[in-house]
Amino acid sequence: MQKTIFITGATAGFGKAMAERYAREGWQLILSGRRAERLDELKAALAPAKVHTVVFDVRDRKACEEAVANLPAEFLPVDALVNNAGLALGMEPAQACSLDDWETMIDTNIKGLTYMTRAVLPAMVERNKGHVVNLGSIAGNYPYPGGNCYGGTKAFVNHFSKNLRADLAGTRVRVTNIEPGMCETEFSEVRFKGDKDAASKVYKGVDALTADDIAECVYWATALPAHVNINAIEVMPVQQSFAMFAVDRD
Ligand code: NDP
Ligand code: 8X3
C-alpha cells in the first residue's frame, strides 16, 4: 500500500523539495500552503504522483482541523506529517522590532504547528503507527543577535518535539525535529519583507544548504526501519559554525 505524507508549507523551499522527493519515492502527497496557484503548479509538475492540495493558513485553527477532518478517504491514513510551514520576520534587536512580527511568528511557528499536530495525532496513536516531523532550527538551539522571537519559537519546537515523544511513550509513533542552519530558500526574502538585495547578502560567498539537502534528511528519517526514531537532526553548511560569545569590553 502506498504511504501518505502531509507536508505543510509546500509552495516553496523545503516543503516543495520534500514534495518532489517523496513523489519520486512513490508516496501519496497532501500538500498545503496559502498560495493556491503554486500548489496547482506543483501538483501538475508532480504528475502522475497522487496529490491532494489544501489551501489554508496554519494560523487558522479551524482551517487546520477541517483540512485534516476533510481528507479524502484515499489519502488516509496519514503516515507522516511534516510541520514545515513557518517563517522568520525581521532581524532588529528585541527592543526595536515589530510586535506584530513576533505575533505572526508565534502564531505560525508555534500555534500552527500545534494545531496540525493535535489534529493528526489521534489517528496515528489509534493505528499505533505514524511519524511527526517538525521543522525546528539551529536558531532554537543557539542564540544570535536578531534571532529573538524566531529563535524562541524554534526552541518551542525543539522542546515540544521531545515532550511529544514523552507522551507517545508506549506507542510506535515517531517524532523527529529537523534543525537546519543557513539554507537558501525564500526564507530570507520573507524575513526581509521582499528585499531581495538584503536576502541575497545572507548567502553571499557561502555554499549554503539547499532545500534538497533538507528533503534528504527528512526522507532518511522517515525511511528508516519502523523501530528507529531519529530524535533530532542538526545540520549546517560547512561554512557556518559557532561564533564566539560576544564580550562588551571597556
Ligand atoms: P520558505 O519561505 O521558502 O517556505 C515557507 C513555506 O511556509 C511556504 O510554503 C509558505 O507557504 C509556508 N507558510 C508560511 N506561513 C504560512 C502560514 N501562515 N500558513 C501556511 N503556510 C505558511 O522557507 P523555508 O522552506 O526555508 O522554511 C521552511 C521551514 O524551515 C520554516 O519553518 C523555517 O522556519 C524552517 N527553517 C528554515 C531555514 C532556512 O535557513 N531556510 C533554517 C532552519 C529552519 P505560503 O506562503 O504559500 O503560505
Ligand atoms: C534559520 C536558520 O541560521 O538563519 O532557521 O538562523 S538561521
CATH number of the domain bearing residue 20: 3.40.50.720
How far apart CA 39 and CA 23 sit, in angstroms, is 14
What is the model's pLDDT at position 244? Answer: 81
Residues 25 and 106: their CA atoms lie apart, in Å, by 33
Please give the residue range of the domain that contains residue 167. Answer: 4-235
The verdict on residue 240 lying in a domain is no
pLDDT number for residue 98: 97
| Interface predicted TM-score (ipTM) | 0.98
Rounded CA gap, 250 and 248, in Å?
Answer: 7
DSSP 3-state assignment of 1?
A: coil
Please check whether residue 179 lies inside any domain of the structure: yes
Residue 15 Cβ inside 6 Å of ligand 1? The answer reads yes
Does residue 246 form part of some domain? no
- Are the C-beta atoms of 27 and 3 separated by less than 8 Å? yes
Q: What does each of the 250 residues of the chain score in pLDDT, given as a tens digit? A: 899 999 999 999 999 999 999 999 999 999 999 999 999 999 999 999 999 999 999 999 999 999 999 999 999 999 999 999 999 999 999 999 999 999 999 999 999 999 999 999 999 999 999 999 999 999 999 999 999 999 999 999 999 999 999 999 999 999 999 999 999 999 999 999 999 999 999 999 999 999 999 999 999 999 999 999 999 999 999 999 998 888 999 9
30 within some domain: yes
Cα–Cα distance between 182 and 238 in angstroms, integer?
10
C-alpha span between 68 and 118 (Å, rounded): 10
Ligand 1 pocket check for 147: Cβ under 6 Å: no
Q: Is the CB of 188 under 6 A from ligand 1?
A: no
Q: Can you tell me which residue has the cell 510551514? A: 85
Domain-located, residue 243: no
Q: Looking at residue 12, what is its pLDDT?
A: 98
Distance from the alpha carbon of residue 249 to the mean position of ligand 1, in angstroms: 38
* Alpha carbon of 11 to ligand 2 centroid (Å): 19
Determine the pLDDT at residue 103: 98
Residue 57 lies in a domain: yes
Q: Which ligand is nearest to the CA of 202?
A: 2
The pairing of beta strand 130-135 with beta strand 80-83: parallel
Does 42 fall in a domain? yes
State residue 1's pLDDT score: 84
| Omega within 30 of 0 (cis) for the link into 77 | yes
Q: Whose CA is nearest to atom 6 of ligand 2?
A: 139
**Does 249 reside within a domain?**
no
Return the sign of the alpha-carbon dihedral for residues 49, 55, 59, 62: negative
Tell me which residues have their CB closer than 6 angstroms to ligand 2: 137-139, 181-182
- Please count the structural domains in the chain: 1
Is the distance from the beta carbon of residue 59 to the nearest atom of ligand 1 less than 6 Å?
yes
Q: CA 212 to CA 17: how far, in whole Å?
A: 6
Told to judge if 150 belongs to the known catalytic residues of this protein, a careful annotator would answer yes
What is the separation of C-alpha 213 from the centre of its chain, rounded to a whole number of angstroms?
14
